[in-house]
Structure 1
């Protein structure tokens, strides 16, 4: 039996689901792209190839092994993208919440059913149909739950708008004892540099009191200021538009002082080290071409 426990983003990791790039399928057609960054690389002929992405994910698996983290991988679906484990479900406290994801991704949930079967049935929740919510938009910070959303009236026109206000309200009702704070994110179907696909594309806490943030990812300055006031401006590493595009805020914490980061994120990695973090660098630039990085491809189940 798996006893889930996730209260924040940075406590010592014990068990995680890591996606897989094996049998990832052919390069999608432009009209099938889920996000503007994938579309950009499909059109440019630079869309990542399977063998490169498999190597990148294995580098992460090796680091989990080094830190004695129990790793679950999805069962393989032939010719299907199963990299982004964070999209399909997420854990709050001791409850696993299934995401209502894009319908053609339902199979991804079936591929982790063997893990879900190890969780007590009362601890697995499927939200009602009108609730849209994805794990990349849900971020735990002790007594807070941060939720990325999109409040524009054109929500349904945006395949990049993944969590709706019904999703925010669902979390508020499920966790009445938590401070649930939603953030209205900037979306674009055509320009990846102006598209915060999920909250973790423009913000993520690290350590005990620090965070990585992209100010222009928030539609409302008051949302950005909420985080500045909570964390303190001196504790936030501000990233540029280009750094946001390369997914600088999408690192992944193994503990309060160990962070897995992309090896090319020189400015960020220097800042992390200067603040006392151990930085485990991995190659992940190919996977980032699909507008997802380390946090997107991991789904923590147990932290101390």
Structure 2
């Protein structure tokens, strides 16, 4: 397998799509990884497996329509394997295994059959002190955008997934790229104020546009960096409630094809007005776990 990913929007050829099969029972309050899951566990509205399987199959059907090669994880009994983006990511032709929360290590084992098809010299694992997850890593031509959390209380936040050692690791691995980190707002208790990953408050679409949530950034300078890079007129600004529903977490199959949640009316209209084909699917149940379309995918090959 010849890996190739240099941006977020070039024509997709191969991807790992997570799975909701044998997802396990509803977590307890103590087992919640993020405030949005916690909110739904407490409310009794946590998603059920059958609904999540149907949503992921709708996503899979879109991939079939566009002739994308789809790999799925091997099933681990009673285990959440929806969010494949967390466990690894490709930059250029290198597969980087993420240092994820320790009890999620088995998720990497479940895609080992895919990793075995890669050049072993192109598969790397950062040292233990490096924390980095795929949702925080975004490729944009010569740029690599990385979400992080610079607060001195980093270790107290289970919602802080990528540390500055992770940023430094990518800088050393890709010295010819422009690496820009973004300090994200984190909350353990209020999902409307928690940018779990960079793709919860920003994502490029097309060749020069993006979706952005200003209040997801701790520093206005970080937000302004993207405004200056993309141009304000090319950015769709989402509101707090839209960020909560994960409007920035869509997924691009091509420069002009975006898979989006069917309830994102304002965003989907904006995308269509700017010439995009919008493939609308139901994904609202999965979004209750503070992840959406980009989180469920691990792109392996995009066209050059």
Assess same fold via TM > 0.5.
yes
Structure 1 residue 114 displacement after superposition: 0.1
Count how many residue pairs are aligned between Structure 1 and Structure 2.
Answer: 303
1-structure distance, mates of 2:237, 2:74: 38
* Structure 2: distance between partners of 1:225 and 1:175: 24
- Give the CA RMSD over aligned residues: 0.2
Query: How far is the alpha carbon of 1:7 from its aligned partner?
Result: 0.2
Deviations 1:17-47 (A, max 9, x none): 0000000000000010000000000000000
Residue equivalent to 1:25: 24
Query: Aligned ranges for residues 96-245 of structure 1 at < 5 Å?
Result: 96-245=95-244
Distance of 1:114 and 1:180 partners within structure 2: 31
**Structure 1: gaps (5+ residues):** none
User: Residues of 2 paired with 1:284 and 1:220: CA distance?
Assistant: 31
Between the aligned partners of 2:297 and 2:281, the Cα distance in structure 1 is: 14
Distance 1:287 1:51 in 2: 11
Instruction: Confirm or deny that 1:47 pairs with 2:11.
Output: no
Alignment correspondent of 1:74:
73
SS at match of 2:74: coil
Offset of 1:184 from its aligned partner? Answer: 0.1
Which residue of structure 2 aligns with residue 258 of structure 1? 257
Per-residue deviation at 1:205?
Answer: 0.1
- TM-superposed CA distance for 1:123, in Å, is 0.4
SS at match of 1:96: strand
CA deviation vs aligned residue, 1:193-222 (integer Å, no higher than 9, x gap): 000000000000000000000000000000
Secondary structure at the counterpart of residue 278 of structure 2? strand
- SS of 1:122 mapped into structure 2: helix
Query: Following the alignment from structure 1 to structure 2, what is the Cα–Cα distance between the partners of residues 151 and 172?
Result: 17
Taking the aligned partners of 1:197 and 1:96, their CA distance within structure 2 comes to 22
Q: Please give the alpha-carbon distance, in whole angstroms, between the structure 2 residues aligned to 1:299 and 1:141.
A: 16
| Cα separation, 1, equivalents of 2:251 and 2:301 | 14
Q: Deviations over 1:164-218 (max 9, x none)?
A: 0000000000000000000000000000000000000000000000000000000
1:88 lines up with 2:125 in the alignment = no
Secondary structure of 2:14's aligned partner:
strand
- Partner SS for 2:229: helix
Offset of 1:63 from its aligned partner? 0.3
CA–CA distance in 2 between the matches of 1:85 and 1:4? 17
Cα distance in 2 for partners of 1:287, 1:113 equals: 24
> Cα offset for 1:97?
0.2
Matched residues in 2 for 1:16 and 1:62: separation?
13
State the SS of the aligned residue for 1:296: helix
Tell me the CA shift for residue 232 of structure 1: 0.1
Distance in 2 (CA, whole Å) between partners of 1:45 and 1:180 is 42
| Structure 1: 4+ residue segments shifted above 2 A | none
**CA-CA distance at 1:112 after TM superposition:** 0.1
Q: Counterparts of 1:95 and 1:118 in 2: how far apart (Å)?
A: 13
The separation in 1 between residues aligned to 2:58 and 2:131, in whole angstroms, is 32
The two structures have a TM-score, normalised by structure 1, of: 1.00
- Equivalence for 1:4: 3
